Amino acid sequence: MGFGLVLASCAVGPDFVAPPPPEVEGFTPEKTGSPGNGQRFKEGADVPARWWTAFKSRRLDELIQEALDHNPTLEAADAAIRVAQHNADAATGAFLPQVSFNSNSSYIYSSGDATNTTVTQTGYSFFSKSLQISYAPDIWGANMRNVESLDAQRDIQSFQKEAAYLTLAANVAKAAIEEASLRAQIAATRRIIDLQEQWLSLLERQLAFGAVAGTDILSQQAALAQARQTLPDLERRLAQQRNLLTALAGRYPSQEVGETFDLAQLVLPHELPLSLPAQLVGQRPDIKAAQASFHSASAQVGVAIAARLPNIVLTANGGSGAFQLAQLFTPGTWSYTLMGNVAQPVFDGMTLLNKQRAAEAGLEQAEAQYRGVVINAFQNVADTLRALQADARAVKEARIAESVAKKYLDKIRSQQNFGGVSQLAVVDAQRTLLNTAMARVQAEAQRLTDTIALFVALGGGW
């Protein structure tokens, strides 16, 4: 592109300037407070490039790396970058003279003068070799603006690859957490089922001595069946989650990944980076892609304006022609021409003017879309901060609720042994413990998932 800059005496159209960061001091109306309960925000800290290592899981690290190495989405993104790069490189050829070589060999067979009574047929050969050079000086910078637009489109593809990279890593991490959550829910359900089976066995022994009624047995059997009923759906979801992890790793379902995940193996990151608002626009791939699109649209305005201005094409043509091949390089067979052509559109039914207006409207559209992407990005960060604050409280309350439910069930069962409470109260206490255990697992998993969401919302440290 540097050669084009030398050749262009001027480049019409706007010179692109990156938009300044939004003039805001934070992501929320008030100063963002740390979530607490084991997590705090570190304002201005850099987002690590391999942010997933904050969960301290070797299995997760290995699976994400496998996905990054073999997932077809990233391979397609790489190919898209190469396509855009080659298109930009091809456009730079317009800065240089275009040279072509022509070689013609012909045999002409003529019947002579058809008006004569005697027709004499003759034949002869003709050989010609020529070299043509043409050059269109980029006096208005049309070629330069076109290459500038194509370079920006290549940048778009690069930033979209960043987004794909970030999304893929986040999807693997979220899928691993969901698998861990499902395993924990299945384990909690089985623990409750074991308790219910033990209690049912005790009731059946008591029934043999007439200590309980038959309805108590039926009530416990119904509660046990309801708990067992929840297992098939959880196991189905776990199997599908395994399929998802396998696909994200670039494998077929029959080639299931070996890594398995449990909540106990995933460490909740305690220090969370919180970028400054001015940093965010330089970190998020979607914002950078929108800015590159804005840049491309700006360059297209210059291309449209240049098309309405006079353009010059210089042409030189030299070669040799002879009736015999051996005579091509003898004196007297050479010829050359030099030409200069100036073209100025005069009337085209306002076609070029309307194309310029379309390019200018496209620039306004790209600018508005850029501002929309920035606003959505800031909203995304704000939503995640709120979610993490709520998650800290939700996990705390869920753990308290599960602990209380466990104590309540133990108390109820103790009293029921002495006939102090009904079997219905025991069943209700068992159901409460199951629900609180499931809620606690889901709250812990949601907190891990929202932590991932924060890393993604801040741009993933690419």
Q: Give residue 33's domain range.
A: 25-95+141-308+384-457
- The pLDDT assigned to 216 comes to 81
Retrieve residue 242's tokens: 């395994």
pLDDT along the chain (462 residues), means of 10: 44 93 91 90 92 96 95 93 94 92 80 57 77 91 94 96 95 97 94 87 80 82 91 96 96 94 94 93 95 97 94 88 76 83 89 95 97 97 96 96 92 75 80 92 97 95 72
d(CA 210, CA 219): 16
d(CA 17, CA 291): 10
Residue 417 lies in a domain: yes
Residue 285 lies in a domain: yes
Residue 364 lies in a domain: no
Residue 318 lies in a domain: no
Residue 134 lies in a domain: no
- The pLDDT assigned to 200 comes to 86
- The pLDDT assigned to 115 comes to 56
> Residues 197-213, buried b or exposed e (16+ Cβ, 10 A)?
eebbebbeebeeeeebe
User: CA neighbours within 13 Å on the CB side: how many for 419?
Assistant: 5
- The pLDDT assigned to 7 comes to 40
d(CA 325, CA 132): 20
| CATH code assigned at 448 | 1.20.1600.10
Residue 258 lies in a domain: yes
d(CA 429, CA 195): 12
Strands 122-135 and 311-322, sheet pairing: antiparallel
Q: For tokens 């010829």, what's the residue?
A: 335
Q: How many domains does the chain have?
A: 1
Residue 405 lies in a domain: yes
Q: For tokens 């965010």, what's the residue?
A: 280
- The pLDDT assigned to 256 comes to 94
- The pLDDT assigned to 112 comes to 57
Retrieve residue 182's tokens: 């499902």
- The pLDDT assigned to 420 comes to 66
Residue 234 lies in a domain: yes
Alpha helices in 209-324 (DSSP H): 214-248, 277-280, 285-306
